[in-house]
């Protein structure tokens, strides 16, 4: 019943890339059963006498690691069978292992996730995985991720972290990258592409990253500088940047993506009613006279395009991908214009559409407004999220609470 496990280079078969596949061989009772490791090598990079990669093999370390892991996995299964006095054959071992894990490279799995998310219309999430994939490719010196998920261990994570830090990335970026990688790994576990006990994130914890939100709010004085500036003689982009920043601040810190998707259906009896794209939480706010004036300014566009603001057009931006690309493009243009605008006004702080959201929360906090009310206006599902917005801001006590934002 003893089985001999080895890995060979199948020289009799040549792949389209001119290389030969590596095969797991289980020999038992004079018969051999083979299973592809889904990796290949050039004949000049393989020692056929010793069945190991040659020192000049550019992927020597990775190939040796995959070979060692594969052999150990099968040897462990054989020992478990013997300990339980279970009968087995070489074929049953391989077929059983196929049911447990499907061999797929990180490259293949990432690309399949991205495509699946696009098909489902989850464009934002697909971009997160695409960003993670591209970062891993850069870490791999631009080469494809032709390794299995079991290759991503604690040592890999530490090297990846060190590489990202060497590129000047901060903890917030590192946390984002590792959260996406961890999500991909969990998907791979669910798809039975890697065993659960191989998960490096059982040991490599993301809590060591300092992800406290930096102060991004403007003072009320700077907010009023922006809102009260007359931009009517300026470019259309400057007017749009001014109006969208002001509208966000006046309307509960509404995010850019939510502003972009607003239509007349979201205006009900003088109130702004919509569902957040990010959390799907429902928002219901009274529109101020200033906010209504901004909406009325774009009435003509709304009648033509179906949206309140000149970002999306119902005849041009139809698919989720078209909408997402358009929103991303205009948001970038608006934020670039806002930075120029702020510099002209002598505002030294960073100014983007998202800063309007933080500023709304902070000014209400300083006014003495209950954090639960602020959380509801922001559309946060958890008050803890609102506290993250506010915890890094100045804790100065404001004697007289503001009755409104202006």
**Residues 13-45: tens digit of each pLDDT:** 988 888 899 988 888 888 888 888 888 889 999
Does residue 250 register a pLDDT over 60? yes
Q: What is the reported pLDDT for 97?
A: 56
Is residue 250 one of the residues assigned to a domain? yes
Query: Structurally, how many domains does the chain consist of?
Result: 3
Which whole number is the average pLDDT over 285-293? 87
Q: Does residue 195 share a domain with residue 256? A: no
Q: Does residue 155 share a domain with residue 40? A: no
pTM for the full predicted model:
0.54
Q: Does residue 158 share a domain with residue 237? A: no
Q: Does residue 288 share a domain with residue 231? A: yes
Is residue 9 one of the residues assigned to a domain? yes
Q: What is the reported pLDDT for 37?
A: 83
Quote the mean pLDDT of the chain: 82
Q: Does residue 336 share a domain with residue 225? A: yes
Residue 277 belongs to domain with CATH number: 1.10.443.10
Q: Does residue 228 share a domain with residue 345? A: yes
Task: Convert the chain into a string of H (helix), E (strand) and C (coil).
Answer: CCEEEEEEECCCCCCCCCCEEEEEEEEECCEEEEEEEEEEECHHHEECCCCEECCCCCCHHHHHHHHHHHHHHHHHHHHHHHHCCCCCCHHHHHHHHHHHCCCCCHHHHHHHHHHHHHHCCCHHHHHHHHHHHHHHHHHCCCCCCCCCHHHCCHHHHHHHHHHHHHCCCCHHHHHHHHHHHHHHHHHHHHCCCCCHHHCHHHCCCHHHCCCCCCCCCCCHHHHHHHHCCCCCCCCHHHHHHHHHHHHHHHCCCCCHHHHHCCCHHHEECCEEEEECCCCCCEEEEECCHHHHHHHHHCHHHHHHHCCCCCCCCCCCCCCHHHHHHHHHHHHHHHHHHHHHHHHHCCCCCCCCHHHHHHHHHHHHHHCCCCHHHHHHHHCCCCHHHHHHHHHCCCCCCCCCCCCCCC
Q: For residue range 122-181, list pLDDT tens digits in order.
A: 888 888 999 999 999 999 999 999 888 989 999 999 999 999 999 998 888 999 999 999
Domain stops at, among 75, 100, 125 = 100
Q: Does residue 292 share a domain with residue 227? A: yes
Domain stops at, among 147, 176, 208 = 208
Q: What is the reported pLDDT for 181?
A: 96
Domain that holds residue 48: 3-100
Q: Which residue has the higher pLDDT, 276 or 203?
A: 203
Is residue 406 one of the residues assigned to a domain? no
Is residue 119 one of the residues assigned to a domain? yes
Q: What is the reported pLDDT for 339?
A: 93
Which whole number is the average pLDDT over 171-192? 92
Which whole number is the average pLDDT over 275-302? 86
Q: For residue range 359-405, list pLDDT tens digits in order.
A: 766 665 555 444 544 444 444 444 444 444 443 333 333 223 223 34
Is residue 403 one of the residues assigned to a domain? no
Q: What is the reported pLDDT for 363?
A: 61
Q: Does residue 373 share a domain with residue 323? A: yes
Percent of the chain with pLDDT over 70: 84
Is residue 213 one of the residues assigned to a domain? no
Q: Does residue 357 share a domain with residue 299? A: yes
Q: Does residue 380 share a domain with residue 280? A: yes
Does residue 234 register a pLDDT over 60? yes
Domain stops at, among 208, 238, 266 = 208
Per-residue confidence at 91, pLDDT binned at 50, 70, 90?
A: confident
Which whole number is the average pLDDT over 289-316? 93
Is residue 122 one of the residues assigned to a domain? yes
Is residue 350 one of the residues assigned to a domain? yes
Q: Does residue 264 share a domain with residue 195? A: no
Q: Does residue 117 share a domain with residue 93? A: no
């Amino acid at each position: 019943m003893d089985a001999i496990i080895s890995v060979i280079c199948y020289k009799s078969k040549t792949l389209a890339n001119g290389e030969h596949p590596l095969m797991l061989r289980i020999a038992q009772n004079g018969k051999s059963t083979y299973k592809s490791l889904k990796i290949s090598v050039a004949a000049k990079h393989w020692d056929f006498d010793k069945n190991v990669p040659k020192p000049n093999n550019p992927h020597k370390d990775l190939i040796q690691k995959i070979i060692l892991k594969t052999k150990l996995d099968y040897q462990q299964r054989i020992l478990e069978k013997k300990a339980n006095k279970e009968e087995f054959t070489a074929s049953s071992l391989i077929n059983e292992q196929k049911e447990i894990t499907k061999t797929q490279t990180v490259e293949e799995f990432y690309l399949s996730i991205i495509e699946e998310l696009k098909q489902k219309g989850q464009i934002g999430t697909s971009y997160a995985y695409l960003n993670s994939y591209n970062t891993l490719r850069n870490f791999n010196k631009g080469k494809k991720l032709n390794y299995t998920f079991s290759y991503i261990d604690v040592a890999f994570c530490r090297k990846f972290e060190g590489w990202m830090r060497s590129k000047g990335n901060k903890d917030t970026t590192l946390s984002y990258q590792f959260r996406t990688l961890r999500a991909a790994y969990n998907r791979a576990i669910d798809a039975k592409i890697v065993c659960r006990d191989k998960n490096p994130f059982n040991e490599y914890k993301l809590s060591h990253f300092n992800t406290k939100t930096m102060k991004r709010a403007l003072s009320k004085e700077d907010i009023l500088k922006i809102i009260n500036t007359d931009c009517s003689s300026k470019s259309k982009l400057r007017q749009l940047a001014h109006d969208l920043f002001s509208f966000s601040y006046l309307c509960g810190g509404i995010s850019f993506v939510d502003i972009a998707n607003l239509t007349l259906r979201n205006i009900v009896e003088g109130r702004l009613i919509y569902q957040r794209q990010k959390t799907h939480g429902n928002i219901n706010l009274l529109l101020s006279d200033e906010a209504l004036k901004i909406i009325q300014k774009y009435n003509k566009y709304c009648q033509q395009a179906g949206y309140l603001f000149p970002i999306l057009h119902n005849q041009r931006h139809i698919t989720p991908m078209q909408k997402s690309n358009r929103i991303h493009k205009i948001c970038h243009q608006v934020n670039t214009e806002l930075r120029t605008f702020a510099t002209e006004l002598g505002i030294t702080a960073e100014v983007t559409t998202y800063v309007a959201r933080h500023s709304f929360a902070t000014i209400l906090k300083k006014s003495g407004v209950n954090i639960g009310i602020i959380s509801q206006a922001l559309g946060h599902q958890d008050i803890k999220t609102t506290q993250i917005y506010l915890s890094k801001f100045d804790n100065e006590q404001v004697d007289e609470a503001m009755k409104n934002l202006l």
